[in-house]
């Protein structure tokens, strides 16, 4: 082992240098094998971590697993809240469009109340975390517009009949 030989080839291996020599040897081997060495606690004058017994290891492992599960739950909750917010925005847009349509058709308070009741029903479904698809919201909008158009046709017919009766 020429690692402990001096320039003249004399063995200079001493027990007090054993730690330093082994450390250098391990570093040399790690470099040759392209491996990564762990932190050298002695050179940083830090205390090395203690070995964990079985119970402590299990406890730390359980804590780490709970932390990972909690993070996954938070990520899932965040995604759901983003989806919920998007659906609520869609409902608000639909509500705005339907209110504008009601305004153009000269609707009364009862029509607005009915619209608000249906919109609140869908908002509550979203808050209760029931699955509502974009297709359902579009269907609600189209159905409501169709009902509104049917009612307007009836109103126009009644107004025309009323005009003919008055004449």
pTM of the predicted model as reported, rounded to 2 decimal places:
0.45
Within 10 angstroms of residue 21's Cβ, the number of other Cβ atoms is 15
* Structural domain spans, the chain: 1-49, 84-166
Convert the pLDDT of each residue in 30-44 to its tens digit.
999 999 888 877 778
Specify the DSSP class assigned to residue 12: -
Distance (Å, rounded) from C-alpha 42 to C-alpha 96? 69
The pLDDT, as a whole number, for residue 16 is 61
Flag whether pLDDT at 131 surpasses 70.
Answer: no
The pLDDT, as a whole number, for residue 1 is 46
Contact 126, 91 (CB under 8 A): yes
Distance (Å, rounded) from C-alpha 63 to C-alpha 78? 22
């Amino acid at each position: 082992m020429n690692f402990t030989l001096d320039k003249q080839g004399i063995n200079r291996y001493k027990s007090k240098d054993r730690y330093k020599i082994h450390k250098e040897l391990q570093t040399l081997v790690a470099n040759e094998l392209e491996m990564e060495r762990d932190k050298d606690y002695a050179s940083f004058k830090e205390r090395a971590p203690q070995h964990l017994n079985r119970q402590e290891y299990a406890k730390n492992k359980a804590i780490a697993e709970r932390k990972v599960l909690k993070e996954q739950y938070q990520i899932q909750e965040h995604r759901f809240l983003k989806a919920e917010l998007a659906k609520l925005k869609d409902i608000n847009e639909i509500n705005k469009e339907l209110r504008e349509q009601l305004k153009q058709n000269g609707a009364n308070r009862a029509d607005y109340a009915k619209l608000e009741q249906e919109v609140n029903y869908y908002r509550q479904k979203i808050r209760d975390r029931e699955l509502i698809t974009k297709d359902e919201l579009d269907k609600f909008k189209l159905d409501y517009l169709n009902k509104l158009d049917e009612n307007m046709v009836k109103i126009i017919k009644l107004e025309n009949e009323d005009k003919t009766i008055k004449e």
